[in-house]
Amino acid sequence: MNISGTKSDAYDFKKARLGIIGGSGLYKIENLENIVEFSLTTPYGKPSNKFLIGNLFGLEIVFLARHGENHTLNPSEIPYKANIWAMRFLNVRWLISASAVGSLKETIKPCDIVIPDQFIDRTHQRPLTFFNNGIVAHISMANPFCEILSQILSKEIEKLLTKGKQMHIGGTYLAMEGPAFSTRAESNLYKDWDCSIIGMTNHTEARLAKEAEIAYSSISMVTDYDCWNQNCENVSVEMVIENLQENANFAKSIISAVAKSMSSLRPTSSFHNALKDALVTPKEHVPDQTKSKIELFTNKYWN
């Protein structure tokens, strides 16, 4: 594992941090102070982009642009394992995903914010676990989002809401493969399943984050009605980009508010011990090569 960057030799990697993964439209956070930039090579390859670590209201923030700073990675090409492993290596214990989604409900309007609490996975070619190649762990995904972190998000977002913008607490995020948008038949099917929103990235991150014992939650920012709503214009890149710009600015305000709140309150979460009863394979039967990759997560149970 290689690491390089400004002041990297003197940096304290043991300090617990808040991680932010910025999705479409959110490629940086301007108000970070004392920024340090890191490039990492993990056991799972290179992450999406360089990591930015900075101070915000006394809390250290780790920021990563999910699709790369120039949006060069489509949802299926994102190196999810490398991203999450690196976040854990940088001692991120709380991870917030900011991402663009489509709405599957009339009451959830473009530019609204959703804090989902469930997933349905319709992806086909994603890395879904760190625990393979000689080790088995059965993580519980009954509650895929950290309720404590979601509550903090909801509380801070409520204070920032302006006229015409709503927050929706709870709802099911339908994760599709992408990068193409849904067919109308698919969109109507997911709507009939009572899904609230549709996106392409969060489910994969959430599963891996829980295996890495990182508390994970999502700021899902609505850009469109997908294509089920024939009373509205079909989803297009132009429509998405226009709403992305508004959502990205709001997301930056949310991140600042959450950082200020968490600077004095560092919540513990059941996610921080998610592997406690999940590991099945005895340590002595795990191949050395596999063991070296996942010991970042498992050492506290094996030592």
Catalytic (active-site) positions: 224, 226
Is the four-CA dihedral 259, 260, 266, 271 of positive or negative sign? Answer: negative
CA–CA dist 198, 17 (Å, integer)? 29
What's the token pair of residue 241? 């980009």
Q: Residue 101 class from Cβ within 10 Å (0-12 exposed, 13-18 middle, 19+ buried)?
A: buried
Helices (H) and strands (E) in the chain, counts: 6, 12
Classify each residue of 40-53 as buried b or exposed e, where b means 16 or more C-beta atoms within 10 Å of its C-beta.
bebbbeebbbbbbb
Half-sphere exposure of residue 246: CA atoms within 13 angstroms, side-chain side: 16
